Homo-oligomer: A and B are copies of this chain.
Amino acid sequence: MNKYNHPGVPYFQHVSEHCIHYMSIDGVIFGFSENQLKVLLLRWKGTDEWSLPGGFIYKLESVDAAAGRIVQERTGLNQLYLKQFHVFGDANRYDQADTWQRTKMPLEGIKWSERTISIGYYALVNYSKVTPMPDLITDECRWWNIQDLPRLLFDHNHIIEVALHSLRRELNEQPLNHLLPDPFTIPELQRLHECILGTALDSRNFYKKMLASGQLERLPERRSGTSHKAPYLYRFQETQSGEILPEPGT
């Protein structure tokens, strides 16, 4: 692939014409599988360089809608929980020359911003319902364990860290069922809490706390096969189901 046939060129030309300049959205898409917290990453065309999924805001598009569109296109989900968590607005967020060179994206002919302000959203999605799809400028889209991420493009390692810290702080208010199978077991919920918090929890106290919260509804069935004693299945009660974007702000 050379600079004359790179599919990113028409894409960035389209963005430059129709989207808001100096501004982007980055999505930290969290999934949970095999007792691991994961994020969805993209590998740029013709490189070994990875980044978060991201995109741009059309001039007359709501920012939440843009974030929803971007995450939807990578996951195939049309119902998802999204939360705006931070704006990354430093004038020098990363070494631009170095980063763009790593992407092998030929931007010479395109009117492009000298800097980009990025609005960070995180999404909580059901791992098993996601079909990872690369976009026009990437070859591959797949899950990475949050524990062993590579060095990412731009300042995306930092953005993921801030997203994880935000999720950690807001853990008890977030609809974590979006990350779990439906229904789920208490041990599964505990593993998820442990992955997000990065600490081990006492299972007996965790049980007590979850049941005392009154948000869980126990089903008559148990999860069979996996564990020694089959655990009961649970659902979150209707109240905090959390549809698309139940933002405090709007």
Residues of A within 8 A of B (CB): 20-23, 57, 59-66, 84, 86-92, 113-115, 117, 119, 162, 165, 248-250
The count of identical subunits is 2
Bound CA span A61–B162, Å: 22
Q: Are B21 and A119 in contact (CB under 8 A)?
A: no
CB-CB under 8 A for A89 and B64, given A21-B20, A22-B20, A22-B23? yes
Q: List 16 A-B contacts (CB under 8 A).
A: A20-B21, A20-B23, A20-B117, A21-B21, A22-B23, A57-B89, A57-B117, A60-B91, A63-B90, A63-B117, A87-B119, A87-B249, A88-B249, A89-B119, A162-B248, A162-B249
Query: How far is the CB of A171 from the nearest CB of chain B, in Å?
Result: 14
Residues of B with C-beta under 8 A to A114: 59-60
Residues of B with C-beta under 8 A to A66: 89
> Knowing that A20-B23, A22-B23 are A-B contacts, what are 20 other residue pairs whose CB atoms are under 8 Å apart, sorted by A's residue number?
A20-B117, A21-B21, A21-B22, A22-B59, A23-B23, A57-B117, A59-B114, A60-B114, A60-B115, A62-B89, A62-B90, A62-B91, A62-B92, A63-B89, A65-B91, A84-B87, A87-B119, A88-B249, A89-B119, A165-B248
Query: How far is the CB of A230 from the nearest CB of chain B, in Å?
Result: 40
Residues of B with C-beta under 8 A to A119: 87, 89
Q: Are A91 and B23 in contact (CB under 8 A)?
A: no
Bound CA span A89–B113, Å: 20
Residues of B with C-beta under 8 A to A117: 20, 23, 57, 63
